[in-house]
Amino acid sequence: MFMKNDFFGKDVISVNDYSREDLELLFSRTNEMKKLVEERGGDERLKRKMMAALFYEPSSRTFSSFISAMQRLGGGIIPLNGMTNTSVAKGETLEDTARVFSAYVDVLVIRHSQAGSLATAAKYCSKPIINAGEGATGEHPTQAFIDLFTIKKIFGRIEGLHFLIIGDLAHYRPTNSLMMALTNFKNITLTLATPKQVPIQDYVRKFLKVSKISFSETSEFDKLLPEVDVLYVTRVKKEYMSESLYREIQGSYIVNNSLVKKMKKKSLIMHCLPRIDEIDKEVDDDPRSVYFRDQLQNGLYVRMALLDLVLNKD
Amino acid sequence: MFMKNDFFGKDVISVNDYSREDLELLFSRTNEMKKLVEERGGDERLKRKMMAALFYEPSSRTFSSFISAMQRLGGGIIPLNGMTNTSVAKGETLEDTARVFSAYVDVLVIRHSQAGSLATAAKYCSKPIINAGEGATGEHPTQAFIDLFTIKKIFGRIEGLHFLIIGDLAHYRPTNSLMMALTNFKNITLTLATPKQVPIQDYVRKFLKVSKISFSETSEFDKLLPEVDVLYVTRVKKEYMSESLYREIQGSYIVNNSLVKKMKKKSLIMHCLPRIDEIDKEVDDDPRSVYFRDQLQNGLYVRMALLDLVLNKD
Amino acid sequence: MFMKNDFFGKDVISVNDYSREDLELLFSRTNEMKKLVEERGGDERLKRKMMAALFYEPSSRTFSSFISAMQRLGGGIIPLNGMTNTSVAKGETLEDTARVFSAYVDVLVIRHSQAGSLATAAKYCSKPIINAGEGATGEHPTQAFIDLFTIKKIFGRIEGLHFLIIGDLAHYRPTNSLMMALTNFKNITLTLATPKQVPIQDYVRKFLKVSKISFSETSEFDKLLPEVDVLYVTRVKKEYMSESLYREIQGSYIVNNSLVKKMKKKSLIMHCLPRIDEIDKEVDDDPRSVYFRDQLQNGLYVRMALLDLVLNKD
């Protein structure tokens, strides 16, 4: 089946810009990339193309998988893990910085602390911007793509699954993107369990309420565990809250073996990492835990696929 | 016409080491690079060559355009945007550091806070050093090359033009290099307008006074605007002065639409960026403003040409 | 002679994992790399392979030579000179970080402040980890490989030589590795001269005492100089001690021309750099000083050889 490449030459800022068909194209290209890496490590399809990775906030996975992805496809990199030694130190705005880098590269991958800033920067930038995580309350669309690809690869489908997402959802951009992206699929049940101080962002709640998703919020999730297909655990994002709030909610949801033994045999335990203490290490070896396996590994393949689709028309 | 490559294997530290013929060779190679990038993104002429980018001071444009340039020509990079995590932290001198990197690479691109330090380092370093900006009071020769190339490309010549350079010229290395490089061309008129606290460096003034340039300094420039061909705006370099001096002179020269409307239709508004508030955003879209267009973009082509000339004899 | 590659697919954490035969294989491959770089700059044998350089502590030589080595063999890089902008800032453990990067690369080169941490991380990491310097009291095996290769290349042998190592040996990982690696060779005499506050680590002393090396410790070394074949000078590692201890021992051993003139004509003055004041600059030009020549330069060739052996079976 021929699929139109709606990613070509465009920014990747919000999951809401993509249809079910777009996601299927991305997943299909991701499968090709997985095969390519496993068989040959990569190829030369992005030769003489350049990617700037501009990370205003700390990153390990997103930064390194994009850097690896670009080079595995033959492209070059401007790797800036931290922007303090750039003109940002002299007071340059994100708009101006994006415009500058766009003169030298073919695509910009940007992580920034301000939700909404990338859409503004994109207006001034002649090259595609890929959102690598934006603001405490914004989106992290490529992580959602990875999560969906991982789930589909294992379950064979996304439709009909029950998702339970737990933790600090007030400051968690990857799950903001994941939840909104789930509205592309049928018969999804989505339950959120958060400490009352850190509920989901209002704009996401509103988005979900007008969707066809079966959506509910709770503060206790133990009894749901036998029903869920996907348990998604999130980190309490200390860097985005006061020390006192952190002390209040830290450790409120700790996932350990005694909890996950309630889950179905065919289910998934996900986390987009880093994990601090919210998943006990004893859970790492559970066969349903994919956070150090497929979910992590697919980060490379999805980002290779995305760079390919954004930079190559065919 | 065959032109001898006087760049091959040599340091690029001061514009004063180059003749008019050298500059023409560089411009000619830059035109080739522009065509190469536009048609094919780059080539492999620097394959298996390595460039270390050692930036002791913040940089966006210079750093990223060199990093992109090297890779677009097939070369490899050691990208150090900030030197605080190197042996500099252990007290190593620039001489020793340059000697160390020269063992592993073919060319070193260095930005350093101390004027004169690169010439000293070059004595100990077996590989060419390219000055990527040196000291508050020193030079930034590659920016001058970019500025001259941009002007020549648009006007078809540099001879006979009237340059007005405004702002904090006490701490502005790009224009130090530009002004001295202008002495290679005939019938140049050069007017400087600065707050009285931050005049041009003495060594540059002396250099200009013994040259054939028609040179003058003023503190008011409005009435000159109808005559000038090139208005070059500079940033008040806060990082090199006291807070009190900054407050005194900040905002003394703000270029906006009501000023630039006095300029000729065929003239240029230049700035080597970053800009803070010294050029109002409303000027960005003026067709004579090249700072986010040719002047920025040519940074890539000029630096590709320079790396090629320094590393390849023919 | 066919030599079995015991490096392939394995971690490189301690010199004690290598036999004399392993070292000979490494030296033989290093000679090939030297020839390769001198003749052609490199080749493509690591094409589509990726190396992450994760440096938790400052580095110039080790970082840059690995980065250059990987690219000269056609491979790609994730260059992190400083880890403060990664998930380390969010509290991620080294084990988790190593596991993460292993999903995206083929080999990890790690410098870390905690002796013993790499062996722990390696248990969780599916890709080889190369120790690029570990802890104040740990090892720096690749520097020892470089030192041995350099000595063998110049003397034609390592057997039978007299080594004098001076300085702060309580905090010097390169010489920890060098001394232990010397036990692979016959008839070695090893004398250490240290300020009494900073003697060699106990675990190294014990290792040497049960070996066949002729080993002694002293605090005066002048009279030994006429006998030694290799004088190895080390830096007082200020970053690992109190300010008061630093003031006590700083400058206790300064090597200058009046000292080295006592040495044999055929002998070597070594230092793995950076040097602060423990070797006077006047010694740099002595023909026996190899620290800015072979010892520095061989860093590239040895690390190319090591990457090749770890990543390619044949």
Q: What is the pLDDT of residues B214-229, one digit of tens each?
A: 999 998 899 999 999 9
Q: Sort strands B76-81 and B50-55 into parallel, antiparallel or unpaired.
A: parallel
Q: What is the structure's pLDDT at C2? A: 65
C25 Cα to chain B: minimum distance (Å): 23
Q: What is the structure's pLDDT at A220? A: 84
Whether cis (ω within 30° of 0) applies to the bond prior to A274 is yes
Q: What is the pLDDT of residues C37-86, one digit of tens each?
A: 999 999 999 999 999 999 999 999 999 999 999 999 999 999 999 999 99
- Give the contacts of B268 (CB within 8 A, at least 6 positions apart): B150, B151, B154, B155, B229, B230, B231, B288, B290
Q: Report d(CA A55, CA A58) in Å as an integer.
A: 7
**Residue B270, SS3?**
strand
Q: Determine, for residues A86 and B296 on separate chains, whether the beta-carbon distance falls below 8 Å.
A: no
Which residues are paired to B163 by β-bridges? B190, B230
Write b or e for each residue in C144-160: b if 16 or more Cβ atoms lie within 10 A of its Cβ, otherwise e.
bbbbbbbbbbbbeebee
Residues of chain A positioned with their CB less than 8 A from the CB of B44: none
Provide ipTM, 2 decimals: 0.95
Chain B residue closest in CA terms to A49: B41
Chain C residue closest in CA terms to B51: C68
Q: Within an 8 Å CB–CB cutoff, is residue A102 touching chain B? A: no
Q: What is the pLDDT of residues B100-159, one digit of tens each?
A: 999 999 999 999 999 999 999 999 999 999 999 999 899 999 999 999 999 999 999 999
Mean pLDDT of B68-77: 98
- Which chains neighbour C (Cβ–Cβ under 8 Å, 3 or more pairs)? A, B
Q: Nearest Cβ partner of A292 from C48, C92, C99?
A: C99
Q: Determine, for residues C92 and A273 on separate chains, whether the beta-carbon distance falls below 8 Å.
A: yes
Say yes or no to pLDDT of C248 above 90: no
Q: Compute how many other C-beta atoms are within 10 angstroms of the C-beta atom of residue C21.
A: 13
Q: Within an 8 Å CB–CB cutoff, is residue A38 touching chain C? A: no
Chain B residue closest in CA terms to C37: B48
Q: What is the structure's pLDDT at C45? A: 98
Chain C residue closest in CA terms to A239: C90
Residues of chain B positioned with their CB less than 8 A from the CB of A49: 41
Q: Determine, for residues C71 and B50 on separate chains, whether the beta-carbon distance falls below 8 Å.
A: yes
Say yes or no to pLDDT of B300 above 60: yes
Q: Within an 8 Å CB–CB cutoff, is residue B191 touching chain C? A: no
Compute the mean pLDDT over every residue in chain B, rounded to the nearest whole number: 95
Q: What is the structure's pLDDT at A1? A: 54
**Residue B301, SS3?**
helix
Q: What is the structure's pLDDT at B237? A: 85
Say yes or no to pLDDT of B13 above 90: yes
Which residues are paired to C131 by β-bridges? C110
Q: Report d(CA C245, CA C251) in Å as an integer.
A: 12
Looking at residue C240, the DSSP 8-state letter turns out to be G
How distant, in Å, are the alpha carbons of B29, B174, B186 from that of B181? 18, 11, 11
Q: What is the pLDDT of residues C136-165, one digit of tens each?
A: 899 999 999 999 999 999 999 999 999 999
CATH fold label, B15-139+296-311: Rossmann fold (3.40.50)
Assign C249 a pLDDT band (cuts: 50, 70, 90): confident
Say yes or no to pLDDT of C183 above 60: yes
How distant, in Å, are the alpha carbons of A67, C80, C112, C304 from that of C51? 11, 11, 17, 12
**Residue C80, SS3?**
strand
Q: Which amino acid is it at A215?
A: F
Q: Within an 8 Å CB–CB cutoff, is residue A24 touching chain B? A: no
Chain C residue closest in CA terms to A39: C48
Q: Compute how many other C-beta atoms are within 10 angstroms of the C-beta atom of residue C19.
A: 10
Give the residue among C297, C284, A79 at the shortest CA–CA distance from B105.
C297
Q: What is the DSSP string of B104-119?
A: T-SEEEEEESSTTHHH
Helices C141-155 and C173-182 meet at what angle, rounded to 10?
Answer: 50
Q: What is the structure's pLDDT at A33? A: 98
Q: Report d(CA A308, CA A26) in Å as an integer.
A: 10
Q: Report d(CA C296, CA C310) in Å as an integer.
A: 22
Chain B residue closest in CA terms to A81: B81
Residues of chain A positioned with their CB less than 8 A from the CB of C89: 58, 239
Say yes or no to pLDDT of B170 above 70: yes
Write b or e for each residue in B59-92: b if 16 or more Cβ atoms lie within 10 A of its Cβ, otherwise e.
bbbbbbbbbbbbbbbbbbbbbbbbbebbbbbbeb
Q: Determine, for residues C273 and B96 on separate chains, whether the beta-carbon distance falls below 8 Å.
A: yes
Compute the mean pLDDT over every residue in chain C, rounded to the nearest whole number: 95
pLDDT tens string, chain A, 314 residues long: the values are 567 999 999 999 999 999 999 999 999 999 999 999 999 999 999 999 999 999 999 999 999 999 999 999 999 999 999 999 999 888 899 999 999 999 999 999 999 999 999 999 999 999 999 999 999 899 999 999 999 999 999 999 999 999 999 999 999 999 999 999 999 999 999 999 999 999 999 999 999 999 999 999 998 899 999 999 999 999 988 888 888 988 888 878 899 999 999 999 999 999 999 998 999 999 999 999 999 999 999 999 999 999 999 999 98
Residues of chain B positioned with their CB less than 8 A from the CB of A86: 58-60, 63, 81
Assign C1 a pLDDT band (cuts: 50, 70, 90): low
Let me know: does C149 contact C272? Beta carbons within 8 Å.
no
Residues of chain B positioned with their CB less than 8 A from the CB of A79: 79
C42 phi and psi, to 5 degrees? 155, -170
Let me know: does C234 contact C167? Beta carbons within 8 Å.
yes
**Residue A48, SS3?**
coil
Q: Report d(CA A26, CA A30) in Å as an integer.
A: 6
Looking at residue C44, the DSSP 8-state letter turns out to be S
Q: Determine, for residues A96 and B274 on separate chains, whether the beta-carbon distance falls below 8 Å.
A: yes
Q: Determine, for residues C64 and B101 on separate chains, whether the beta-carbon distance falls below 8 Å.
A: yes
Ranges assigned E (strand) in C47-181: 50-55, 76-81, 107-112, 129-134, 162-166
Q: Report d(CA A104, CA A50) in Å as an integer.
A: 8
Residues of chain A positioned with their CB less than 8 A from the CB of B292: 96, 99
Q: Within an 8 Å CB–CB cutoff, is residue B49 touching chain C? A: yes
Return the half-sphere exposure (C-beta side, CA atoms, 13 A cut-off) of residue B47. 12
Q: Within an 8 Å CB–CB cutoff, is residue A76 touching chain C? A: no
Chain B residue closest in CA terms to A98: B60
What is the enclosing helix (H) or strand (E) of B313? none
B184 phi and psi, to 5 degrees? -75, -10
The model carries a pTM of: 0.96
Helices A117-124 and A94-102 meet at what angle, rounded to 10?
Answer: 50
Q: Determine, for residues A41 and C52 on separate chains, whether the beta-carbon distance falls below 8 Å.
A: no
Q: Determine, for residues B49 and C41 on separate chains, whether the beta-carbon distance falls below 8 Å.
A: yes
Let me know: does B300 contact B65? Beta carbons within 8 Å.
yes
What region, left, alpha or beta, does residue B123 occupy, with left being phi > 0 and alpha being psi -120 to 50 degrees? alpha
Let me know: does C307 contact C70? Beta carbons within 8 Å.
yes
Q: What is the pLDDT of residues A231-287, one digit of tens each?
A: 999 998 888 888 898 888 887 889 999 999 999 999 999 999 999 899 999 999 999
Let me know: does A68 contact C78? Beta carbons within 8 Å.
yes
Q: Within an 8 Å CB–CB cutoff, is residue A101 touching chain B? A: yes
Helices B294-311 and B61-72 meet at what angle, rounded to 10?
Answer: 50
**Token code pair at residue C304:** 């190319």
Q: Nearest Cβ partner of A90 from B58, B292, B299?
A: B58
Q: Within an 8 Å CB–CB cutoff, is residue A119 touching chain B? A: no
Q: Determine, for residues A82 and C84 on separate chains, whether the beta-carbon distance falls below 8 Å.
A: yes
Selected residue of B35, B46, B51, B68 to mutate for chain A interface (largest A Cβ count, 10 A): B68
Provide the residue ranges of all domains of chain C, joining segments of one domain with +. 15-139+296-311, 141-291
Q: What is the structure's pLDDT at A6? A: 95
Q: Nearest Cβ partner of B41 from A49, A80, A82?
A: A49
- Give the contacts of B257 (CB within 8 A, at least 6 positions apart): B280, B282, B283, B286
Q: Report d(CA A162, CA A147) in Å as an integer.
A: 14
Q: Nearest Cβ partner of B103 from C67, C239, C296?
A: C296
- Give the contacts of C295 (CB within 8 A, at least 6 positions apart): C146, C147, C150, C270, C271, C272
Give percent above pLDDT 90 in chain C: 89
Domains B15-139+296-311 and B141-291 are alike in CATH topology? yes
Chain A residue closest in CA terms to B55: A85
CATH fold label, A141-291: Rossmann fold (3.40.50)
Q: What is the structure's pLDDT at C251? A: 78
- Give the contacts of C93 (CB within 8 A, at least 6 positions apart): none
Say yes or no to pLDDT of C171 above 80: yes
Assign C236 a pLDDT band (cuts: 50, 70, 90): confident
